[in-house]
Amino acid sequence: MNIEDRYINAVSARLIDSMAFSVLEVEGQQGLSALVRRRGQNLELIFFAGQEGLLDFFYFHQIPRVREYMNRLRCNRAMVVNLFPGRAGSKYSPYIPQGVDDDMEVSNLWVDIEGGTVEGDTSNLKRLEVMLREYADISRLERYTPVDLKAIQRVDVDAKPIVTRWIIAINVLMWVLMTLAGGSTNIGVLIRFGAMFSPLVLRGEYWRFVTPMFLHVGLMHLAFNSYALYNLGGLAERIYGRYRFIIIYGVAGVCGSFFSFLFTRAVSAGASGAIFGLLGALLYFGRKRPGVFRRSFTTNLVTILLINLFIGFSNPGIDNFAHLGGLAGGYISARILLKRSGS
């Protein structure tokens, strides 16, 4: 990978991470890197042109294609930035569509990677300009390890949610065993199988922070959580991958049990804390990757979350503290995992 391509990769990864951009596939232009994000009714697009031959795209196809994206995402206005990274003396032709239209603003920027300078109108792009200058450093780019931009934000729709299905199977198996042992609503059975009960945790039974997420009180409890887990878990597993999904689910479940331990003294069990953790992880992903999740999807997640919290606070029989703990655990663990992976 040459220096120009390294520069494009580094800046793109940073924009995806810190400014919530997503990779955009530009049909028929495989050598062109493009990023997109939606902010309300505004569409923001950044095109990286590393090859002079790609200028044909800007000459003849860019404006119609941008309007196509606007219609697809139902945006009223677009801000387009064309970035041309290169070395001193490699500035491309300035005759590329630019300026301000009624619904579109197009800017062209040239980056001298060796000199660390940015040419073009950056009056409305100060944050981007700072980032472009920061990475215009040959020695830094030579040490930089490129990343797969698609991998750090991709939702693998074809992947089967194997872990999610195994968790549901384990939950069903534990419910059957508890039913055979005297009933899943029997307090004694619940405690014997590992439900959260603070006095026993204080005596050293710390494994009760883990076991409650696999136990359920009654058939309806199991059925509702299995349905929620199948839908939210399947999506979260496709987004984060199996191993990160296991970590998020486990951390959320333990955090839910910990909050239950801190704030309640009743016997409690269920996967609700871990499921709320999946909600938290999906909310974080939706906030960081709006180009992958439509705005309406994130809004629906928030609606589901608020409804469940309202039901929890309205019903004294529901351990809402476990929900809050799981939500926090899922959101924070997802954030840490994505940060550590460079996404």
Residue numbers annotated as active site: 272, 323
37 contacts 20 by C-beta, under 8 angstroms: yes
Who's near 83: CB < 8 A, 6+ residues apart?
8, 11, 46, 47, 48, 49, 109, 111, 132
Between CA 20 and CA 9 the distance in angstroms is 15
Rounded to an integer, what distance in angstroms lies between the CA atom of residue 222 and that of residue 111? 57
Given a contact cutoff of 8 angstroms between Cβ atoms, the answer to whether 233 and 326 are in contact is no
225 φ, ψ to 5°?
Answer: -70, -35
Can you count the helices (H) and strands (E) in the chain?
14, 7
Q: What is the helix (H) or strand (E) element at residue 67, kind and residue range?
A: helix 62-73
- Judge whether 225 and 272 are in contact, CB under 8 Å: yes
Place of tokens 């871990």: 274
